[in-house]
Structure 1
Amino acid sequence: MISAVPGRTNLATNNGLIYDFFFIGPIERLYNFMITCTRHNLSPYEKRIASGELRQACSNIGLLPQPPRRVNTTGRLIALRKLLNDPAELKDPFPLHALLVTSDDDHQTEFVSNYDKRREYISGFSGGGGDVIITMNKAILWADGQFYQQANDELNCDWLLMQDGNPLVPSQAEWLISEFPGGARIGADPKLIAADYWNSLEYELQQKSLKLELVKTKINLIDKIWTNHSQTDEEKHAFTLDDHYTGKHWTLKLKETRRELKHLGAEAMVITALDEIAWLLNIRGRDIPYTRFVKGYVLLSQTTITLYVDPNKTKLNVTSFFNAEIPGLTDSSVEMKPYNDIWIDLRTRCQIWKTVLVPSSFVYSPGASKQIYDLVPEEKRISKPSPIIHLKAVKNPTERVGMRNAHIRDGAAMCMFLEYFERRFKAGDLWDELKISQEINRFRMEQHLAVDVSFRTIVAFGTHGSQPHYEPSLTTSLPIFDNSTIIIDSGGQYCDGTTDVTRTIHLGEPTDDQKDAYSRVLIGSIQLASLIFPDNLKPSSIDVLARAPIWEIGEDYQHGTGHGIGAFLGVHESPVYIHYNPRMKQDHFKVGFFFSNEPGIYLENKFGVRLENVLEVIDKPYLKHTYGRSYLGFSDVTLVPYSNKLIKFEMLSNREKRWLNNYNAKIRRLIGAELKRQNATDAFYWMMDNTQHIPESRASIHCQSISILMSHIFLSKLYHLLM
């Protein structure tokens, strides 16, 4: 899946530059001054971008045909604005001038249940990221580059659209300050906003305007106007994972976590992130789409642990798994209490505990909500990233084997689907983007230990491929022809691992431009995957290897090159985020990390190309350890053939061809054995045809040597810069 930009960078990082909330340095001041000057000298077109008025089919002259995905939210905005001006409904003596609505649920999860899609309800925008501000006469959505076109298609003309990250576009705080120079009360639900985001916004508002106040609403205003808004009656039972899959009993994980808390000087910790609860307790659920998480909170101290969860979800074996029937609190049993008891218990137990860690944001982990944050007294609060982030990122030996095995079955499913799809297309079957998505999910779910898909499958044909995060729907699904590329980005949740793979295919004869784009993306992917490096190299440093062939033609992509991936957990997992502008502190690579490698080229209104493999970080013990440094490398665990018809082999060096031959041999060995085991004869021969040996050319040896030499020079200089 596309590597999304972690966090809300437009606030705490001021459009990409990190600064301490209590000190803005000279570089940041200069940057802010340059942005201010730039915005004062805009062309009419740039002014429309900066104001959010550059909208598709939203002319003031005449009525233009509206995009088919557009959602009419006029009535919802009218109903919401009535509440903003009604103190009785607000349960507040003063009205609100604006409302901030985020994409989050109570746990700041990446994917939210249908019940928690409040931002989508009020705006109509269904993308994975973006926040809105609604005033009495304006409605604005901020969406980053990968979702910008989708938002333009889905928002009706009541909305202004801001391209988050564009230097011409103001941040939420900047916009509020300019919109309300005389002061205003901006409401927001503190349960649905991470504390770091809330605090950074509040700080920025207070620094520049003492008259602007961020107000905690006593009710959720979207829930108040949302008709037919109710929790599903379906019982979603939680379940536990055996050590055979996790490699470690939950009691051992507790000991590790408590040891880390002690090092951080914390007597206790409140755990709100669902992936962290799932990992820590070896528990899974069915509350969140595409991730097998159960909604809950955990209070963990050095001697006790309490899980707050809906008791209806733990009727099966969960209670006995945690020794919860044993009376009293011990270090080897989990006390289980109703979900909403957290709000009373946290306040009460903080009277006993001396120090409590409240997780702060880190990469893909937004941290605890403002509501949780404020329940812990300031003098007892330790605000730092959760130690569980780092513990679960390094997969143990059992998890590593499980991830590799899951990818083998996943690769077999992909081969079976691609063979079937190509054969049925040649036979004259009619296909569209949505049908491909449905069929690929079906093939994947037929695999052993398959539980769910790991995100909504992306299938983008032709011009849709130029939108990095396009997802097909009933109103937009294009029919498939043989005259352009098809990007297929999909993944699965298995009991032993999580997968994420992207391939770009072509059913006809590719153009020279399509071959050139595909080859550049492949070369970038190979250059990154081939890297051997010292263990103190930061993930952001390797991004240039994937982008270099794409930069050569003046192109780039508006998403990261890679993201961490969990073991039967989240498809986006901290702490790995690969981008040359990381926007946050970074850890070094560690053996046992798994992450994606996914460069792409997106040519607007033409076509797109993206290729994605999951890599495992491995040790290179045979290399000499210079100055006490170990050397690491990568191993591709995704095993799906590339499309030979889209490759310009003359663009590849002998080294890159050799890498591709080794990769294909690995597919033939591992995926071939799995396809034979499943008696998938047609898919086996399709796989063999698409992994044939590529001849290496003597003529390219000199160029290859120069390429290797330049790479060594570049990495040598980079290494010395980092030391």
Structure 2
Amino acid sequence: MAVAKKSTTVLLQRLRSLMKNASIVNPVINGYIVPSGDAHLSEYIAPCDRRREFISGFTGSFGIAVVTDSKAALWTDSRYYLQAEEELDENWTLMKMGLPDTPTLGKWLRDELPNDGRVGVDPFLMSQNNWQELSDELELFGKSLVSVAKNLIDTIWDDRPPTPTDLIFVHPIQYAGEPWHKKIDNLRSEMAKKNSSVHVVSALDEVAWLFNLRGSDVQFNPVFFSYAIITMDQAFFFVDERKLTDDVRQHLMTSAGDSHVASVVIEPYEKVLERLKKIVDESTGANDKIWISLNINHAIFGVVPKMKQLKLYSAVEVAKSVKNEVEVQGMKNCHIRDAVALCEFFTWLEKEIEHRNVTEIEAADYAEACRKKQALFVSLSFDTISSSGEHGAIVHYKPTPETNKDITKKEIYLIDSGAQYRDGTTDVTRTVHFGTPNDYEKECFTSVLKGHIALDNATFPNRTKGSSLDSMARQYLWSLGLNYGHGTGHGVGSFLNVHEGPCGIRVDTRADEIALKKGMVLSDEPGYYEDGKFGVRIENLFVVVDKQTKYNYLKTGYLGFEHVTLVPIQRKMINKDMLTADEVKWLNDYHKKCRDIVGSEAKRQGKNDVYDWIVKETEAL
């Protein structure tokens, strides 16, 4: 069934009228950019911030829309090509990022804007990095990027949802592993090393992690709207005070040890620019550099004079990505319970489709119900990707009533799902066939599996970046002339965002990419997608660990991975003849671990039918 497209004709007319209204935008503009994120540049956003979705009808998590006097275009990456084609109406041109014939946003604007043309954007919604790059490019051609103080989408969004006001809660030390005042002490130590006296924290998960707090302002992400500014003697926390319980206030007044923080200074969320300006004015020392990331929004970045800027990755982002021992153990523990839930789901699904039709939505709902039974469950960590047949080729597919189809024994079924538990975050993908896969499907699946195993087995020296490892997962697909368009691995938070920077495993190299460090948690998820037919992805999470090697060249020390996801990989989909003896051993060892650990937990929970399914699925290949 075709997806009903949102009609955007009237909305675009209203937006273009505002662009030419000098009482709202002065001077008037020839184009308007609508990014995907919120003021914190979040990947997942609250309904009140889904401006790009509102104006374009495209619901994917990544993309950027631009409206000029006569055209409307949307850029997105390969994960969303098919989805965008289905959702955009005739007013929009889809720009497929990454393809050689697709112009960049800057190139397109250079061609579309008139001489001396101006394109506007809400400065809170574009990172300084992206702002500077686009502004510099346009200026070379006599055109300009300008701040528009009043968000034009908000003006025409008549039924815009309200900003969330849910209560914030404490993330206790038994799960955090380190008190917040110790984290601030460590942050100040890093600041001192860089001759910085101020650190601005904007990303929602960074503020939540720093203060050991969690919330629910953004679906699937236990975060809340806030900023923080840390100086050498104060910690400012900008938040809607209606969200603060007595427990949270008491938590923020607690200090210990040699911390210089007696308590946290709480100020209104909207006062962050005012406070930062005051701090800038008072920072007169030679070493009073203000640590501010280029990934912060342009509005905040612009408050700090160039001579006072220390432009580096957020120290909080880097510290957060390296899990402490308590967080690592929490990730292991929650993945065991999560695996029981998924194995319960597959036990049920296999039985049900033998005698009745099960839809993609029903399967997704049942998988969530299984997780809800597990201890410390809070929510899903993202919308479940429950996709049968050709829907599996849509990388971030979400079944809707319009697209919902039956899961059959005639085609591949892919489920990518995860959950938020108080002790950790999960994200796992399994691809299965309930009938008989054909030789080509097995060849694709096995090539993906070989890449998954190769990355899981990797040993690499300290200071290695994820981009150096990406080809390990792609090599077997490449040898067949196949590939996939998304990254191979992303960082994962500890009861935080399921997609977490700054670590990752991807093809492209970035100038600011940081090396992998012991304690980071990442995904291992190679895949293959054939439009109109099927999708294959195998995803585990693993933690970076020390590796012992026979030699130690240059005394660098070596690292590797330890998987924490323990869900059987369907043997029916594997062409054993394509595997080496070492790969067969890896799979059998992995399945023994699944049986021993997850099977034991299933029995402890009294799920004997689930235990029987695990035993069946973990027989030696």
- Same structural fold, with TM-score higher than 0.5 when normalized by the shorter chain: yes
Measure how far apart 1:218 and its partner are.
2.0
Q: Say if 1:358 and 1:373, in contact at 8 Å, map to a contact too.
A: no
Distance 1:169 1:358 in 2: 36
Q: Say if 1:357 and 1:384, in contact at 8 Å, map to a contact too.
A: no
Shift in CA distance, 499/333, structure 1 to aligned 2, threshold 3 Å: same
Measure how far apart 1:141 and its partner are.
0.4
| Deviating more after overlay: 682-691 vs 642-651 | 642-651
Distance 2:261 2:139 in 1: 44
1:47-103: CA deviations, max 9, x gaps?
A: xxxxxxxxxxxxxxxxxxx9424211111111111111111233x2x2211101100
Question: What's the secondary structure of 2:196's corresponding residue?
Answer: coil
Q: Which residue identity lines up with residue 684 of structure 1 in the other structure?
A: Y
Measure how far apart 1:426 and its partner are.
1.4
Question: What's the secondary structure of 1:375's corresponding residue?
Answer: coil
Q: Say if 1:623 and 1:631, in contact at 8 Å, map to a contact too.
A: no
Measure how far apart 1:330 and its partner are.
5.9
Counterpart position of 1:148: 81
Measure how far apart 1:496 and its partner are.
0.9
The alignment status of 1:200 with 2:136, answered yes or no, reads no
Q: Say if 1:145 and 1:165, in contact at 8 Å, map to a contact too.
A: yes
Distance 1:594 1:539 in 2: 12
The alignment status of 1:246 with 2:176, answered yes or no, reads yes
Shift in CA distance, 297/324, structure 1 to aligned 2, threshold 3 Å: farther
Counterpart position of 2:313: 385
Distance 1:657 1:687 in 2: 18
Measure how far apart 1:378 and its partner are.
2.2
Question: What's the secondary structure of 1:88's corresponding residue?
Answer: coil
Counterpart position of 1:80: 15
Q: Say if 2:540 and 2:564, in contact at 8 Å, map to a contact too.
A: yes
Measure how far apart 1:182 and its partner are.
1.5
Please list every run of 5 or more consecutive structure 2 residues that lacks an aligned counterpart in the other structure: none
The alignment status of 1:603 with 2:530, answered yes or no, reads yes
Distance 1:157 1:96 in 2: 24
Question: What's the secondary structure of 1:685's corresponding residue?
Answer: helix
Q: Which residue identity lines up with residue 462 of structure 2 in the other structure?
A: D
Equivalent of 2:162, from 227, 231, 240? Answer: 231
Q: Which residue identity lines up with residue 515 of structure 2 in the other structure?
A: H
Equivalent of 2:323, from 380, 395, 398? Answer: 395
Equivalent of 2:557, from 609, 618, 630? Answer: 630
Measure how far apart 1:624 and its partner are.
3.3
Counterpart position of 1:23: none
Distance 1:409 1:633 in 2: 24
Distance 2:193 2:393 in 1: 48
The alignment status of 1:189 with 2:116, answered yes or no, reads no
Equivalent of 2:216, from 282, 286, 290? Answer: 286
The alignment status of 1:556 with 2:483, answered yes or no, reads yes
Q: Say if 1:350 and 1:356, in contact at 8 Å, map to a contact too.
A: no
The alignment status of 1:118 with 2:51, answered yes or no, reads yes
Measure how far apart 1:533 and its partner are.
2.4
Distance 1:67 1:87 in 2: 41
Distance 2:474 2:84 in 1: 26
Q: Which residue identity lines up with residue 414 of structure 1 in the other structure?
A: L
Measure how far apart 1:356 and its partner are.
4.4
Equivalent of 1:417, from 317, 337, 345? Answer: 345
| Deviating more after overlay: 193-202 vs 348-357 | 348-357
Q: Say if 1:524 and 1:549, in contact at 8 Å, map to a contact too.
A: yes
Counterpart position of 1:479: 406
Question: What's the secondary structure of 1:412's corresponding residue?
Answer: helix
Distance 1:324 1:105 in 2: 31
Q: Which residue identity lines up with residue 219 of structure 1 in the other structure?
A: K
Distance 2:165 2:152 in 1: 27
Question: What's the secondary structure of 1:197's corresponding residue?
Answer: helix
Measure how far apart 1:377 and its partner are.
2.2
1:638-660: CA deviations, max 9, x gaps?
A: 00001111111121111001011
Q: Say if 2:389 and 2:533, in contact at 8 Å, map to a contact too.
A: yes
Distance 1:584 1:317 in 2: 42
Question: What's the secondary structure of 1:89's corresponding residue?
Answer: coil
Measure how far apart 1:375 and its partner are.
1.4
Question: What's the secondary structure of 1:322's corresponding residue?
Answer: helix
Counterpart position of 2:619: 692
Measure how far apart 1:539 and its partner are.
1.5
Measure how far apart 1:235 and its partner are.
4.0
What TM-score do the two structures reach when normalised by structure 1? Answer: 0.83
Question: What's the secondary structure of 2:95's corresponding residue?
Answer: strand
Distance 1:381 1:504 in 2: 48
Distance 2:513 2:133 in 1: 20
Equivalent of 1:370, from 298, 315, 340? Answer: 298
Question: What's the secondary structure of 1:132's corresponding residue?
Answer: strand
Q: Which residue identity lines up with residue 132 of structure 1 in the other structure?
A: A
Measure how far apart 1:358 and its partner are.
4.6
Measure how far apart 1:336 and its partner are.
0.9
Counterpart position of 1:22: none
Counterpart position of 1:6: none
Counterpart position of 1:55: none
Question: What's the secondary structure of 2:67's corresponding residue?
Answer: strand
Distance 2:119 2:234 in 1: 39
Q: Say if 2:58 and 2:88, in contact at 8 Å, map to a contact too.
A: yes
Distance 1:102 1:477 in 2: 29
Q: Say if 2:165 and 2:217, in contact at 8 Å, map to a contact too.
A: no
Counterpart position of 1:49: none
Counterpart position of 1:319: 249
Counterpart position of 1:533: 460
Equivalent of 2:263, from 333, 336, 340? Answer: 333
Q: Say if 1:615 and 1:638, in contact at 8 Å, map to a contact too.
A: yes
Distance 2:518 2:550 in 1: 15
Question: What's the secondary structure of 1:503's corresponding residue?
Answer: strand
1:492-544: CA deviations, max 9, x gaps?
A: 11111111100001111111111111111111111111122222432212211
Q: Say if 1:408 and 1:639, in contact at 8 Å, map to a contact too.
A: yes
Counterpart position of 1:613: 540
The alignment status of 1:404 with 2:332, answered yes or no, reads yes
Counterpart position of 2:152: 221
Counterpart position of 2:41: 108
Distance 1:96 1:621 in 2: 60
Measure how far apart 1:584 and its partner are.
3.7
Alpha-carbon RMSD: 1.6
Q: Say if 1:591 and 1:619, in contact at 8 Å, map to a contact too.
A: yes
Q: Say if 2:377 and 2:422, in contact at 8 Å, map to a contact too.
A: yes
Counterpart position of 1:453: 380
Distance 2:289 2:368 in 1: 43
Equivalent of 1:665, from 582, 592, 595? Answer: 592
1:147-201: CA deviations, max 9, x gaps?
A: 1111111000011111112121111111111112422111110011111111111
The alignment status of 1:442 with 2:369, answered yes or no, reads yes
The alignment status of 1:170 with 2:103, answered yes or no, reads yes
Q: Say if 2:51 and 2:153, in contact at 8 Å, map to a contact too.
A: yes
Distance 1:214 1:627 in 2: 48
Shift in CA distance, 491/218, structure 1 to aligned 2, threshold 3 Å: same
Shift in CA distance, 183/622, structure 1 to aligned 2, threshold 3 Å: closer
Distance 1:444 1:417 in 2: 9
Equivalent of 2:195, from 250, 262, 265? Answer: 265
1:659-701: CA deviations, max 9, x gaps?
A: 111101111111012101211111110011000122xxxxxxx
Question: What's the secondary structure of 1:162's corresponding residue?
Answer: strand
Q: Which residue identity lines up with residue 608 of structure 1 in the other structure?
A: G
Identical columns (%): 36
Q: Say if 2:204 and 2:226, in contact at 8 Å, map to a contact too.
A: yes
Distance 1:182 1:629 in 2: 55
Q: Say if 1:518 and 1:646, in contact at 8 Å, map to a contact too.
A: yes
Q: Say if 2:459 and 2:560, in contact at 8 Å, map to a contact too.
A: yes
Distance 2:91 2:372 in 1: 41
Q: Which residue identity lines up with residue 384 of structure 1 in the other structure?
A: L
Counterpart position of 1:566: 493
Q: Which residue identity lines up with residue 307 of structure 2 in the other structure?
A: E
Q: Say if 1:132 and 1:142, in contact at 8 Å, map to a contact too.
A: yes
Distance 1:550 1:401 in 2: 34
1:399-437: CA deviations, max 9, x gaps?
A: 111110011111111101110111122132x21112211
Q: Say if 1:237 and 1:316, in contact at 8 Å, map to a contact too.
A: no
